[in-house]
A and B are shown apart, each in its own frame.
Chain A
């Protein structure tokens, strides 16, 4: 369990850094969705299933769709 926790946290940090450094905003949104999914699993490991459920529904689901809707109205690449 300790090893799984470590792997997930490292993946979380990599996802967060990559989402900030990507020039392609659509890729950044997809990376951010995977960040949210890992965060939901981490909340579950931290014994907070309520927050995990909210994170999975909001972070990985609705927020991603909202970001994609915004990108479809503006430009895809960062200036």
Chain B
């Protein structure tokens, strides 16, 4: 799609969408939202960029190998953080019983390792959305 209005408007609103997505991801343990919706919003911003500027520019911004590494690394980080619970003598992903704090309202750096897990899920979901869309719109099948 080659439209000047779509390009200018998407260039203006993409930073706001991304700031909102990062906000939803980072406040996942305190407020409604979390890794999945925040990651979907972040992925949607890159999809909007691809729609406005074309598949070439989109895959230049985040290439297949970059999103592949982000996807695998985020889920490995999730599993590694989950294993901390086992190392502390409890079951997988245990937070409170392993000695970490619960979430406090208005304090982002609370709730033990839950923010790290939320950020990992956010990166994973965002890169999955981008990979799905780029795979669908690519001309040649991979």
Contacts and interface: CB of A to CB of B under 8 A. Distances in A.
Given A50-B32, A53-B32, A62 B40 contact: yes
A66 interface: yes
Interface in A46-75: 49-50, 52-54, 56-58, 61-62, 65-66, 69-70, 72-73
Interface string A32-50: 0000000000000000011
Contact of A53 (B33, B44, B47, B132): B33
Interface residues of B, number: 17
B47 A57 contact: no
B82 interface: no
A66 B51 CA distance: 12
B85 interface: no
Nearest to B36: A54
Contacts, number: 42
Interface string B10-46: 0000000000000010000000111011001101100
Given A57-B44, A61-B44, A69 B37 contact: no
B132 A66 contact: yes
29 contacts: A49-B32, A50-B32, A50-B37, A52-B32, A53-B33, A53-B37, A54-B36, A54-B40, A56-B37, A57-B40, A57-B41, A57-B44, A58-B36, A58-B40, A61-B40, A61-B41, A62-B40, A62-B43, A62-B47, A62-B129, A65-B44, A65-B51, A66-B133, A66-B136, A69-B133, A69-B136, A69-B137, A70-B136, A72-B137
8 closest A-B pairs by beta carbon, nearest first, are: A49-B32, A57-B40, A69-B136, A50-B32, A53-B37, A54-B37, A57-B37, A61-B44
